[in-house]
Amino acid sequence: MDSFTFSFTVNAPLDAVARFHHDTRALTRLTPPPIVVQLHRVEPLAEGSISEFTMWIGPLPLRWRALHTRVDPLHGFTDMQTLGPMQHWQHTHTFTAEGPGVTRVHEHVEYQHRTGLRGLFTRLLFARPGLAFMFAYRRLATSRALEHAIWPATRAQQA
């Protein structure tokens, strides 16, 4: 089993960071181009909630179903692939206040590729360089949404 860890700070309070990540529609905002996410089923984030979506890599669809566990309103959650391209995918998001208006976002993924052609495709997309790019983009998107009040809930909070 492989793992990948990425951590960054965002200049936003803990509750704003948690609300942003608990909105399962944020997945579309956190996914780097050229990947496009199409949401099919998005339940409010809670223990046992399910999200179903397709990640389009050009004309190639990757159907995904994630089960959410260890949901804490302020400190994070885990999503685990129950249907999708990987043999195993478990992604834990942890949020920690580092001071007034500064929050650390810690991402940890444990994953395993399938064998054969399907595994070859995911090895190209979800190898360490691809994950580093994806999470660097997530850092940028999170900072942009929260620090520049682009995300609707942030704008309402600052009004």
Q: Which domain holds residue 21?
A: 2-158
Least trusted range by pLDDT, from 72-76, 108-112, 136-140, 154-158: 154-158
Q: Is the dihedral of CA 50, 127, 55, 147 positive or negative?
A: positive
- Segment 151-155 mean pLDDT: 48
Which pLDDT tens digit goes with each residue over 9-29?
999 999 999 999 998 778 999
Angle at 40 (CA atoms; ends 61, 32), nearest 5 degrees: 55
Query: How many structural domains comprise the chain?
Result: 1
Write down the residue that tokens 């999708």 correspond to: 84
Q: Rg (Cα) of the chain, in Å, rounded?
A: 15
pLDDT of amino acid 111? 97
Residue-wise pLDDT for 31-70, tens only, equals: 999 999 999 999 999 999 999 999 999 898 999 999 999 9
Residue 157 has pLDDT above 50, yes or no: no
Q: Assess whether pLDDT exceeds 90 at residue 94.
A: yes
Question: DSSP label at 34?
Answer: T
- The amino acid at 39: L
The Cα–Cα gap between 65 and 83 comes to 5
| DSSP bridge pairs for 67 | 50, 80
- The pLDDT of residue 156 is 44
Report the alpha-carbon distance of residue 86 to residue 114 in Å, rounded: 6
pLDDT tens for each residue of 131-150 = 999 999 999 999 999 988 66
pLDDT band at 158 (very low <50, low <70, confident <90, very high): very low
Q: Is 80 helix (H, G, I), strand (E, B) or coil?
A: strand
Phi/psi at 101 (nearest 5 deg)?
75, 15
CATH number of 87's domain: 3.30.530.20
As a whole number of angstroms, the distance between CA 40 and CA 92 comes to: 22
* HSE-up (13 A, CA, CB side) for residue 105: 27
pLDDT 10s digits, 100-131: 899 999 999 999 999 988 788 889 889 899 99
* C-beta separation of 53 from 37 below 8 A: yes
